Amino acid sequence: MTSTIRPLKKKKVRQENEKIILDAAEKVFSEAGYGGATMQLIADVAGLPKANLHYYFPTKESLYRQVVQNIFNVWLVAAEVFDSATGPAEGLGAYIDAKMEISRRHPAGSKVWASEVMHRAPIIHDYLETALVDWTNDRIKVMQGWVEAGLMDPIDPRHLLYMIWATTQHYADFNHQIETLNHAQPLSDKQWQAAKRNIKRIILKGIGVPESELSRL
Amino acid sequence: MTSTIRPLKKKKVRQENEKIILDAAEKVFSEAGYGGATMQLIADVAGLPKANLHYYFPTKESLYRQVVQNIFNVWLVAAEVFDSATGPAEGLGAYIDAKMEISRRHPAGSKVWASEVMHRAPIIHDYLETALVDWTNDRIKVMQGWVEAGLMDPIDPRHLLYMIWATTQHYADFNHQIETLNHAQPLSDKQWQAAKRNIKRIILKGIGVPESELSRL
DNA sequence: CATCATCCTGACCATATGGTCAGGATAACA
DNA sequence: TGTTATCCTGACCATATGGTCAGGATGATG
């Protein structure tokens, strides 16, 4: 019974503990910020002694860096829906849906990312300058192609992209404000659907997608 | 010559020093977060000894609270343009312009606000529940009126408002990311104008403002 | 000029924090 | 079973931080 597991036992322990620590760290960093978070609090949330964190992650900064990198990967995966699309209604619509889903399921990650960028990205500076720049330029070209094909109005794709990022991430980063304005209640399933529908409708109609294609939202 | 000033000299000193400290604090809080900011660093930026800060502001938290309240007032003033408007094109257009101008001139304040809300508004909780809720409900009624008057599509005003907040504040909160994506350069005058124009066009067209009214952007 | 309130600050303190380490426990493996 | 690599942790340390305070400077007031 243990024969197949035994050789992996130790490796599994490492894998599991790193996950526990990273989850706790993401939560604490998102709630307190990098400076406000303490290794002791992360340890308490993880249910481990503080020294154990330092066994897996030598410094607070290395732990934080790993958290941010994980989030960036989530972004990238979500963006894949963008690529297989044939036009703005499909591509941007799916992208907005995917980002809203992340904001709903993964708000802590979004907050850590926002906090990092707001503070001039001291830790992931290089990521922004390479991976993000490349990714962005690629999508801008795609959207530029849509403009030239007459599939959308001659909008500057850059500002369109910022608007999508801003709006979708707002539902994660400012979820406390949104809940406060919703009678102190989290958004219900219906309200999340309504949010997605409103956002997609305004943006897609705003860039010139014909009304006939909007009905499917 | 000094006769008119003399009786105010001491009061003026207080006023000036409080302003110097608050400006320094806003800058440092926005760059480091509440937990990452130190009274020593704020003192250095202000060019005053640390003990002097504690003379005017007894605790770090009281200083921070004052910074956040000042920002909230800036928001409120900017929102006044909303009210004198006769319809969405004029009202929302002016509101977007005003908020973009704040994002450009006052990014540090926006970041402090964002950080505070992201961390569940521990300091200004009561503000959100009273002032912000009241303000928001009032504007929603105005927009609801516009919908009923047929001046805009039947959009949920709440999500429209969030979209405007998110997009305009994004240019302050994520200015580092935007600059990184702009060849490490701050946006020029022209680029700021283009940003405003793109945002207003997408949102206003997206909610059904007729093309004829968009040409004036 | 004398008195008083306000303003200012170097030196100091208690506490909290990131990080270390020696030594012990556990499991893989020969 | 003995050896080795990995895992675990209580106790400890150096440093940084928010905050205090006694005493001095400055300007208002009468």
Domain boundaries, chain A: 1-58, 68-214
C-alpha to C-alpha distance for A163 and B160, rounded to whole angstroms? 12
Does A33 contact B119 at a Cβ distance shorter than 8 Å? yes
Under the banding of pLDDT at 50, 70 and 90, the label for residue A37 is very high
Q: Which residues of A touch B34 (CB under 8 A)?
A: 33, 35-36
Question: How many angstroms separate the Cα of B183 from the Cα of each of A36, A140, B177, B187?
Answer: 32, 15, 10, 10
| pLDDT for the residue numbered B10 | 62
Look at residue B8 and tell me whether its pLDDT is greater than 70.
Answer: no
- CA(A27)–C1'(D6) in Å? 28
Give me the amino acid identity at A116. E
Does B194 contact A121 at a Cβ distance shorter than 8 Å? no
C-alpha to C-alpha distance for B7 and B123, rounded to whole angstroms? 36
Give me the amino acid identity at B132. L
Look at residue B216 and tell me whether its pLDDT is greater than 70.
Answer: yes
Under the banding of pLDDT at 50, 70 and 90, the label for residue A82 is confident
Under the banding of pLDDT at 50, 70 and 90, the label for residue B3 is very low
Q: Is A154 an interface residue toward B (CB < 8 Å)?
A: no
A103-142 pLDDT per residue, tens = 999 999 999 999 999 999 998 888 899 999 999 999 999 9
Q: How open is the CA angle B135-B139-B141, to the nearest 5 degrees? A: 120
Q: Is B205 an interface residue toward A (CB < 8 Å)?
A: yes
Give me the amino acid identity at B167. T
Kindly report which listed range (A52-56, A211-215, B42-46) carries the lowest average pLDDT score.
A211-215
Residues with CB under 7 A from strand C: A 6-10, 37-40, 50-51, 54, 58-61; B 10-11, 13-14, 17, 48-52, 54-55
Please check whether residue A173 is in contact with residue A99, taking contact to mean a CB–CB distance below 8 angstroms: no
Residue nearest to nucleotide C29 (CA to C1'): A7
Averaged pLDDT for residues B202-217: 93
B123 touches strand D (CB under 7 A): no
| pLDDT for the residue numbered B9 | 66
Q: How many other β-carbons are positioned within 10 Å of the β-carbon of residue A182?
A: 14
> A146: which residues sit within 8 A by CB, 6+ positions away?
A87, A88, A152
Q: Is the ipTM of this complex over 0.95?
A: no
Query: Which residues, numbered 173 to 192 in chain A, qualify as contacts with chain B under a Cβ-Cβ cut-off of 8 Å?
Result: 173-174, 176-178, 180-181, 184
Look at residue B5 and tell me whether its pLDDT is greater than 50.
Answer: no
Look at residue B4 and tell me whether its pLDDT is greater than 90.
Answer: no
Averaged pLDDT for residues B31-40: 97
Strand D nucleotides, any atom under 7 Å from protein beta carbons: they are 6-11, 16-22, 27-29
| pLDDT for the residue numbered A7 | 52
Question: Tell me, which fold does domain A68-214 have in CATH?
Answer: Tetracycline Repressor; domain 2 (1.10.357)
The C-alpha torsion from A97 through A101 and A102 to A103, rounded to 10°, is 100
Does A162 contact B155 at a Cβ distance shorter than 8 Å? no
Which nt sits closest to A8, CA to C1'? C28
CATH number of B64-214: 1.10.357.10
Look at residue A17 and tell me whether its pLDDT is greater than 90.
Answer: yes
Chain centre to alpha carbon of residue A111: 8
Closest-CA residue in chain A for B126? A180
Report which of B101, B162, B83, B142 is spatially closest to residue A196, judged by C-alpha positions. B162
Higher pLDDT, residue A143 or A8:
A143
Per 3-state DSSP, what percentage of chain B is helix, strand, and coil (rounded to 5)? 75, 0, 25
- Å from B187 to nearest chain A CA? 12
Radius of gyration for the alpha carbons in chain A, expressed in angstroms and rounded: 20
User: In a 10 Å sphere around its CB, with 0-12 CB exposed, 13-18 middle and 19+ buried, how is residue A75 labelled?
Assistant: buried
| pLDDT for the residue numbered B152 | 97
| pLDDT for the residue numbered A189 | 98
Per 3-state DSSP, what percentage of chain A is helix, strand, and coil (rounded to 5)? 75, 0, 25
C-alpha to C-alpha distance for B86 and B145, rounded to whole angstroms? 11
B186-204 pLDDT per residue, tens = 999 999 999 999 999 999 9
| pLDDT for the residue numbered A78 | 87
* Percent of chain B surpassing pLDDT 70: 95
A146-190 pLDDT per residue, tens = 999 999 999 999 999 999 999 999 999 999 999 999 999 999 999
B65-121 pLDDT per residue, tens = 999 999 989 988 888 888 889 999 999 999 999 999 999 999 999 999 999 999 999
Averaged pLDDT for residues A37-42: 98
> B47: which residues sit within 8 A by CB, 6+ positions away?
B20
A1-58: which CATH architecture? Answer: Orthogonal Bundle (1.10)
Q: How open is the CA angle B1-B5-B11, to the nearest 5 degrees? A: 165
Q: Phi/psi at A70 (nearest 5 deg)?
A: -60, -40
